[in-house]
């Protein structure tokens, strides 16, 4: 089965004769001629890929300032260590995204990610409200895992899109990042084992007083 890599031909000819009707009759009139598949006017899955890369570039940059705040509020050595480790990975992920833009001959631009903005805002509000200790650590882990899951979802899509589009280098770069995000999530789960129980014990001690 052929991959649909030549769909630009449909718009040029103005007829779908060449490919049968694989493009199931777009009723809208074509606004612009497609200059080239590598041009700035991205379309289709390629546009989705690029838009989501911009979103993630913003998100990762945001995290390079958000994670240090979480580290400051954390008490557990294990948690501090895993967050510090992931902060370093996150900085690397920013430059990996920049490399991915470069691989596509595009300027690396960031576009505000509403979701990450919200996740970070929730984390910060939560940390402000809570006293230092295991319960706050548990809350930090929960907030951090929400972030990792968001990233895993997005990078999972991006790796798939870039594979379909034949952007091998982009796929490799972002797959490496995807592995780090999954690793970070797993580490947080491990770290949480003790902390969640300590949070519960702390609460019991307070009740006993
Ligand atoms: Fe990340
Ligand atoms: Zn987003
Ligand atoms: Fe949601
Ligand atoms: Fe991450």
pLDDT tens across 184-198, in order? 999 999 999 999 999
Amino acid 102: pLDDT: 98
In whole angstroms, give the CA distance from residue 209 to residue 198: 17
Share the mean pLDDT of the chain: 85
| Distance in Å, CA 151 to ligand 2 centroid | 9
As a CATH number, domain 43-208 is 1.20.1260.10
Amino acid 40: pLDDT: 53
Count of Cβ atoms closer than 10 Å to residue 12 Cβ: 11
Spans of all domains in the chain:
43-208
pLDDT tens across 17-59, in order? 333 333 433 444 444 444 445 545 678 999 999 999 999 999 9
Ligand showing the shortest atom-to-Cα distance for residue 148: 4
Amino acid 207: pLDDT: 76
Amino acid 94: pLDDT: 98
**Helix, strand, coil percentages for the chain (3-state, nearest 5):** 75, 0, 25
Residue 77 pLDDT more than 80?
yes
The DSSP line for 73-91 is H---HHHHHHHHHHHHHHH
Ligand showing the shortest atom-to-Cα distance for residue 113: 2
Ligand showing the shortest atom-to-Cα distance for residue 58: 2
Specify the higher pLDDT residue, 61 or 209. 61
Specify the higher pLDDT residue, 186 or 8. 186
pLDDT tens across 104-143, in order? 999 999 999 999 999 999 999 999 999 999 999 999 999 9
| Distance in Å, CA 159 to ligand 1 centroid | 14
Q: What is the pTM of this model?
A: 0.79
| Distance in Å, CA 5 to ligand 4 centroid | 32
Amino acid 7: pLDDT: 41
Residue 183 pLDDT more than 70?
yes
Residue 156 pLDDT more than 60?
yes
| Distance in Å, CA 137 to ligand 4 centroid | 17
């Amino acid at each position: 089965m052929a991959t649909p890599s030549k769909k630009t031909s449909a718009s040029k000819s103005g007829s779908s004769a060449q490919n049968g009707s694989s493009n199931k009759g777009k009723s809208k009139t074509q606004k612009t001629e497609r200059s080239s598949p590598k041009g700035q006017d991205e379309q289709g899955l390629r546009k989705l890929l690029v838009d989501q890369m911009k979103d993630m570039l913003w998100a990762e940059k945001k995290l390079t300032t958000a994670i240090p705040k979480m580290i400051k509020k954390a008490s557990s050595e294990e948690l501090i260590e895993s967050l510090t480790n992931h902060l370093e990975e996150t900085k690397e992920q920013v430059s990996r995204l920049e490399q991915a833009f470069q691989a596509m001959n595009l300027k690396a631009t960031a576009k505000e990610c509403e979701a990450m903005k919200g996740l970070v805002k929730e984390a910060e509000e939560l940390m402000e409200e809570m006293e230092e200790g295991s319960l706050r650590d548990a809350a930090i882990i929960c907030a951090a895992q929400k972030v990792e899951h968001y990233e895993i979802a997005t990078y999972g899509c991006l790796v798939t899109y870039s594979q379909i589009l034949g952007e091998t280098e982009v796929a490799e770069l972002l797959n490496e990042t995807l592995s780090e995000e999954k690793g970070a999530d797993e580490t947080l789960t491990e770290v949480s084992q003790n902390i969640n129980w300590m949070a519960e014990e702390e609460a019991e001690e307070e009740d006993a007083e």
